[in-house]
Amino acid sequence: MNKKRILFMLTGLIVVTAVIALFLAPWFKSADPSRSVFINQWGFLPHQNKIAVLFADSTKPFTVTELKTNQPVMKSKTTPTETWALAGQPVSRADLTGVTEPGEYRLNIKGAEPVFFSISTNPYGALHDAAIKAFYYARAGLALDPAFAGKWHRSAGHADTSVQRINSTSGNTTAHRKGWYDAGDYNKYMVNSGITTYTLMRAYLDHPDFYTNRYWNIPESMNERPDILDEIMWNLDWMVSMQDTDGGVYHKLTTLNFAGPVMPDAAVAQRYTTAKSTAATLNFAAVMAVAARLFEEQSEMYLERASRALAWAQDNPQQYYRNEERVSTGEYGDTALTDEHNWANIEYAISSQNQAMLVRSIKQLADVSVPSWASTTGLSYLSLLRDARALLPASAYEKLKRAFSGHADQLVTIQQNNAFRIPAIADDFVWGSNAVMMNKAMLLEVAWSLDNQRAYRDASLALVDYISGRNPTGYSFVTGFGKQSPRFIHHRPSEADGIADPVPGWLAGGPQNGHQDNCQYPSDLPALSYLDAWCSYSTNEVAINWNAPLVYVLGSIVADPL
């Protein structure tokens, strides 16, 4: 090759590279967080507070333009800067609350990329339906028909009709059909199932009229029962099958190790029921007792199951579950069970209308705290405040309500001092942080339903804003919704199905800096430590107990908007 030819080729290469670089430049520019504006990507209600946040070291002028008319509807400037330590940089806020007319808008803040937002009377309806439909997509032992599942249809997996007892040599098997897969994995864990099922039952109990006429196209949509009750029943049937004849409940139904990223029908390793545990049995008792309030026909059966579970837990108060030697799947281990004991007693007392038992149980109740799989005190408060008013002495009820409102007030104070104006603190940034936010929002929604203080609804909506985009990662954390949502969730079907879009309606775990997997994170700061990648099971998995409070919150807002 002569020199001229080499020179010609080199020049060509440089030109091509320059053109590609020029072409990609705007793309890289818009990904620059210092130019990003963080805002709700799902849409606002007309009278909702509307806040956009950007990283900035000074106040900036901004304009809001209505897209159809191309007319400016607001000109103002952003707030003086404040720093949220968990995101590590100064931020400034644009308050767009004054724009209330339904429509599509563009926000231009000086020095930042323009962003779009919308205002409508029902921005969260479709989101709610997708969040609850995710449970249908998580059903074990069912083929998902294209008529209901669309492009995410799949074959059935995990019939769970021949499950072995762990460490049993008998070769006997039992059936434990149905239930929801826990998360991105295919196992079924009682403790997590319990809080999830409770939260969905709570949604129905608090908004029965809304759910009576709400359908999201599942196989049972044509029957008499509200869809949410059919979905709940799918899991209750499995839970019931996990109670042993002595009243105790198996902690989980699991393979020995996590399956690889394959579809359900290809994940065929033997499944086992593990040891029984006090935590699982108490969760079961609480859920069965609530189910007895909800399903008339099965009421007696559920209450009887709850009663036998309670008796077992009383006789076996310290059967703490640890993974058996050969088992390496989710442990859901919990050795602080006072909250579960109280919760189960309270639910049983409410359903059996036993005032003496209820009054005794509330004496043991701890302070209000945000519910999680390991901590159920908050759920006791919800049931007491929503379902036990008639059963409790008025003074006892008022005392509980004061404690609960006090907790909501604290969240409002936290919000007012947070640079992103969300009620979040450092402790929230654990595995599943987005669900911490949604559980807080659930408490706030209930507080709002009890005494209509607008600040509670505002704080709850701020948390919806957070997961829908007003957060420093810039993600809308629900798959399929918003301008930038997770594409590579740690969810086996989404990873294995060969379909580019992930199964929709799932809330990703969210940022936290425990870094329990082997991914490379963009930041060590808790609120920024999130990665949309399959490898990130510590920030990008999805789980039933995370979607359930999302369903509750969105349902509560759609049923009773501002």
Residues in contact with ligand 9MR by CB under 6 A are 183-185, 258, 330, 537, 541
Least distance to ligand 9MR from the beta carbon of 537, Å?
4
Angle between helices 278-294 and 190-206 (to 10 degrees): 20
Least distance to ligand 9MR from the beta carbon of 183, Å?
6
Identity of the residue, 154 or 470, whose beta carbon is nearer to ligand 9MR in the bound complex: 154
Least distance to ligand G3I from the beta carbon of 435, Å?
8
d(CA 228, CA 446): 19
DSSP output for 289-329: HHHHHH-TTTHHHHHHHHHHHHHHHHH-TT------TT--S
Least distance to ligand G3I from the beta carbon of 30, Å?
31
The residue nearest ligand 9MR at its CB is 185
Residue with tokens 């998995």: 541
Eight-class DSSP state of 279: H
d(CA 153, CA 136): 11
Least distance to ligand 9MR from the beta carbon of 330, Å?
5
Q: Around Cβ 373, how many Cβ atoms within 10 Å?
A: 22
- Residue pair 417/425 in contact (Cβ under 8 Å)? The answer is no
Buried b (16+ CB within 10 A) or exposed e, 250-282: bbbbbbbebbebbbbeebeeebbbbbbbbbbbb
Question: Which contacts of 400-404 are long-range, i.e. CB under 8 A and separated by 24 or more positions?
Answer: 400/362, 400/365, 401/450, 403/367, 403/368, 404/368, 404/443, 404/446, 404/447, 404/450
Least distance to ligand 9MR from the beta carbon of 332, Å?
10
Identity of the residue, 244 or 495, whose beta carbon is nearer to ligand 9MR in the bound complex: 495
Residue of 338, 366, 332, 324 lying closest to 282 (CA atoms): 338
DSSP output for 154-182: B------SSEEETT--S--EE-----B--
Q: 472: which residues sit within 8 A by CB, 6+ positions away? A: 33, 38, 53, 55, 84, 87, 91, 420, 527, 528
> Which residues form the interface with ligand G3I (CB under 6 A)?
182-183, 185, 330-331, 374, 430-432, 514, 516, 537, 541, 543
Least distance to ligand 9MR from the beta carbon of 201, Å?
25
Identity of the residue, 185 or 347, whose beta carbon is nearer to ligand G3I in the bound complex: 185
The SS3 assignment for 111 reads coil
Quick one: tokens of 524?
């060590």
Identify what 430 binds: ligand G3I, ligand 9MR, none; CB under 5 to 8 Å per kind: ligand G3I
Catalytic positions: 185, 490, 532, 541
